Amino acid sequence: MSEKKKPTDALQEQLDKYLPELQKIYGSLKTNLLNPVGNLLNRSSNNLSDTIQLGVDLINKELRGKHTKNYWRYSYEELNKILKDEMCPCAFLDLESFDENVDWLDEEIQKYGKKVRIGTKSIRVPELTNRALKKPNIEGLFIFHPNEIQYYQEKYKQKDFLLAYPIYNRPEADVLSSAIKRDSETRVHVMVDSPAHLYLLEKSAAKHHVKLGIIVDYDASVNFMGQLAGVMRSPLRLPKEVVSLALQCNEFTHLEFRGIMGYEGQEAGIGDFSVIYSLMKQKSRRENVARRSAIVKALKEAGLEPEIVNGGGSGCFQDTADEDPVTEVTIGSGLFKSYIFDPIESMDNFKPSLFMALRIVRFPKNGVATCFSGGYVSSAINKSPKVVLPEGCKETPREGFGEVQTPILYNPNEVFFNLGDIIICRLAKAGEPMERFNEVAIISKGKIVDHYPTNRGCGLWCG
């Protein structure tokens, strides 16, 4: 006798069946009705969109038995005491949680026999990046600007760099070539997707009498329901296009083809609870496995064995690492686990480790506490920080997180604030907000044990 289905199973089947159509209807309404009604209503429509999506995610979350883990090592009262003398807004890090993230990542990637390359743009605190690099299965830097190389070379003796984005500027190319000139053991790999990139790099490498490694970037986005899912990076999509550019490296004396990269951002940064997103990610996974395999096969047939096959991201690194051709995956955001990654099931073992504290400076009326500053909105996704402690507090819907002040709503019958108390927030993105801070307060065993400078605090300009 077959096992009787639970009511929630039946309900989930119906949800899975009809949700794509409901999503399409809502998407049409949002596009044709909500969005055109001026800037003010457009802002409201975005809030409505987030609210509806959140509701859908929560329904799926309950039906699938998903529960959020408690990630707080310290109570609000303890943090209020620990941070009482810090200048706010301040970024602070739970060092134990960060170390646990690094330990788990190192153990997890070992199962696949691959390596992790650290994405510096998602950290932007050199001391923390270097801390992660001490693990045996984590090596090499996935940098986002040439200026990072000399700092990591001289302070941390790092020797393996992959510049994740193409450049087309001679001074920047000279920074890359100079790094190898300064230390002959340093390996610099540069991302390209055009012959023009090769000509520029060759001129610089020839001037400095060094050899630059070339990584060909290919497009890993997919088409889903008539829409682009992914990021607009490389124009190269077909194996023959990648092979053609890789072969051109042989025409330049000072360049050497080293491998390929494809960034499946639509898998690395999208949650799992929305059925429509889950279907998109499944389609993307199938297509990217086939695409990467076909490109590597074509390269080998052309006599170009790729030393580096890089892919992935924090939200899909296990899937990517499980592919035979892949040699390494890039991870950064998972070590901080900013809140946009909460809906990604594969990231459940990562713990939030980075937070922001704002200080209450006035009370404009009963039930409102106004903090200084805080408006660190993340690019592209356009999401503000999120209040997490004390529980029951939230930003105002109209003013929100502001440039110089952030009013916080609270119930004075449940929460008692004094001037100078703090509000704890999580940030939407990981590394990007660090450009607003000179340092990160490091908390370990209930006290501040150090302050690590950010890129900004180090004077490390990266655009």
pLDDT single digits (tens) 446-462: 999 999 999 999 999 99
Within this chain, do residues 116 and 225 fall inside the same structural domain, yes or no? yes
Residues 260 and 205 in one domain: yes
Residue 439 makes CB contacts below 8 A (sequence gap 6+) with: 91, 451, 452, 453, 454, 457
CA 129 to chain centre: 14
Structure confidence at residue 44 (pLDDT): 34
Indicate if 339 and 358 belong to the same structural domain.
no
Check whether residue 359 and residue 316 sit in a common domain.
Answer: no
DSSP per position, 110-126: HTTT-EEEEEGGGT--H
**Mapping DSSP to helix (H, G, I), strand (E, B) and coil, where does residue 341 land?**
helix
- Element containing residue 212 per DSSP (H, E): strand 212-217
Is 434 inside any structural domain?
Answer: yes
By residue count, the chain amounts to 463
Mean pLDDT calculated for residue range 19-27: 59
Same domain, 276 and 413: no
Residues 161 and 226 in one domain: yes
Burial group, residue 50, by CB count within 10 angstroms (0-12, 13-18, 19+): exposed
Cα→Cα distances 13→7, 153, 273, Å: 10, 55, 14
CATH of the domain at 442: 2.40.37.20
Residue with tokens 């009511």: 7
User: What 3-state class would DSSP assign to 134?
Assistant: coil
Chain segment 351-403, per-residue pLDDT in tens: 999 999 999 999 999 999 999 999 999 898 889 999 999 999 999 999 999 99
> Considering the domain boundaries, does residue 447 fall inside one?
yes
From residue 109, alpha-carbon distances to 268, 317, 319 in Å are: 16, 8, 11
Is 50 exceeded by the pLDDT of residue 49?
Answer: no
DSSP codes, 257-312: EEEEEE--HHHHS--SSSHHHHHHHHHHHHHHHHHHHHHHHHHHHTT---SEEEE-
Question: What predicted TM-score, i.e. pTM, was given to this entire model?
Answer: 0.85
The pLDDT score that the predictor gives to residue 13 is 59
Q: What is the pLDDT of residues 173-198, one digit of tens each?
A: 999 999 999 999 999 999 999 999 99
- The total number of structural domains in the chain stands at 3
* Confidence bin at 47 (pLDDT 50/70/90): very low
**pLDDT at 43 (0 to 100):** 36
Contact 55, 61 (CB under 8 A): no
Specify if 167 maps to a domain. yes
Residue 217 pLDDT exceeds 50 = yes
φ, ψ for residue 179, nearest 5 deg: -60, -40
Integer Cα distance of 120 and 122 in angstroms: 5
- Residue 269 pLDDT class (50, 70, 90 cuts): confident
Check residue 16 and give its pLDDT: 57
Q: What is the mean pLDDT of residues 253-271?
A: 91
From 326, 347, 368, the end of a domain falls on 347
Residue 162 has pLDDT above 50, yes or no: yes
> Confidence class of residue 117 from pLDDT cuts 50, 70 and 90?
very high
At residue 45, does pLDDT exceed 50? no
Of 30-34, 73-77, 118-122, 155-159, the poorest mean pLDDT is in 30-34
For the cut 50, the answer to whether the pLDDT of residue 343 exceeds it is yes
Domain of residue 47: give its range. 7-63
Task: Point out the domain boundary residue: 316, 331, 347.
Answer: 347
Q: What is the pLDDT of residue 274?
A: 76
435 lies in a domain? yes
85 with 196, same domain: the answer is no
